Amino acid sequence: MKFFAHSLAVLALAISLNAQGEQPEPGDSLNIGRLPSASDTDTVAVAPRLRLYDPVLTAGESFVIPGLGQVRTGHYVKAGIFVAMDAIFGSMSYFWGQSAAVDEEYAAYYMAGSHFSVTGDSSRLDSAINVEQAHLQHYNAIVARFSAYDFLTWAIGAHIYNVFDAIDRSNHFRDNEERNPTTAFLLALIPGLGLGQVYNGEWSKAGLTIMGQWGLGMMAFNNERLRVIATNNYVRLNTPLADSAADAIRQQVASTYSNSWSGEEFTAFSNRNMFLWYSIAFYGYSLFDAVVDAYLHDYPNKMKIKPDLAVGPKSVRFSLRTDF
């Protein structure tokens, strides 16, 4: 699970950096325009003309088939990434769902073994051990089922991210208009919706935010549920019984299985804290990203770069002036 968490963090960072370093659309051209100046050498790069696509069409295509909207707009690598993400997360969810069913069958098998005819203390001990094995197998089934829920959440989040990215690729929401950083921050405070990024017109980042916050949050939540279940089983196994003979058998079973339950409790506790910290860190990143994007949203209109090349009889001088 820790390897999976680190892999997701690296994947999210890579996709985020790719989204921030967008290249012009295929077929777009970069125009060089003249600035009104006394010098004929003053030129400045004008923003490329972006080809516009129908955002409803691109979103609908990616909703039906992951990556299809990206294929329409010429973003083939992104399309492949979304197909892979949906396939991996979906197949892992199915795998853990099947594993949960197998573990439940084992739990039923051990529980059935506890109902055999019992005569004498040794048979009662064997029956108690079978019952405890059934509890452990049932817990394993819960772990697998929660893992299936985790991956299903990531699959749904990846699909939403895919649709939002397709909307972003339509280029209808890209502009250099001023954005209010306070408004972006307040909207980003609402978790799990990516509203700060939507306000900035960064639909792809909004999808990434939704996927990351929901996925990490679900993993932290499910591990907390596992911790509670493991703790309750540990307490059950170590609670004395009124019947002295039954309690003697309980103590023998506890000496063997108490460490198993305390180990499960510690694992769930550690994973809960790890994913909780990941969730908090990613939430903080989404707030920071929304505010920074709002501040920089209109920088092409505010910042002008003016190069100047002066050629003299014996020298050549080049200068670069920026206006903010």
pTM for this model (two decimals): 0.74
* 282, part of any domain: yes
CB atoms within 10 A of CB 97: 16
| pLDDT attached to residue 245 | 84
* 33, part of any domain: no
Residue 198 binned pLDDT confidence (cut-offs 50, 70, 90): very high
* 97, part of any domain: yes
| pLDDT attached to residue 20 | 44
Give the separation between CA 90 and CA 84, rounded to whole angstroms. 10
- pLDDT for residue 26 is more than 90: no
Diameter of the chain measured on Cα atoms: 113
| pLDDT, mean over the chain | 81
Which runs of E-coded beta strand occur in 144-218? none
- What's the average model confidence in pLDDT over 237-260? 88
Residue 21 binned pLDDT confidence (cut-offs 50, 70, 90): very low
* 119, part of any domain: yes
* 107, part of any domain: yes
**282 lies in which domain range?**
51-323
Of the two residues 55 and 309, the one the predictor is more confident about is: 55
* 241, part of any domain: yes
| pLDDT attached to residue 31 | 42
Q: In this structure, what token pair is assigned to residue 30?
A: 């970069």
- What's the average model confidence in pLDDT over 125-133? 85
- pLDDT for residue 68 is more than 60: yes
| pLDDT attached to residue 322 | 52
88 to 2, 94, 174, 210: CA distances (angstroms): 17, 10, 31, 18
| pLDDT attached to residue 4 | 53
Q: Is the dihedral of CA 251, 255, 259, 264 positive or negative?
A: negative
The terminus-to-terminus CA distance of the chain in angstroms comes to 47
Give the separation between CA 222 and CA 245, rounded to whole angstroms. 38
Residue 7 binned pLDDT confidence (cut-offs 50, 70, 90): low
* 4, part of any domain: no
Beta bridge partners of 44: 33
In angstroms and rounded to an integer, the radius of gyration of the C-alpha atoms of the chain is 29
Say which residues have a Cβ less than 8 Å from residue 199's Cβ, sequence separation at least 6: 179, 183, 184, 187, 290, 294
| Total count of domains within the chain | 1
* 166, part of any domain: yes
- How many helices (H) and strands (E) the chain has is answered by 10, 4
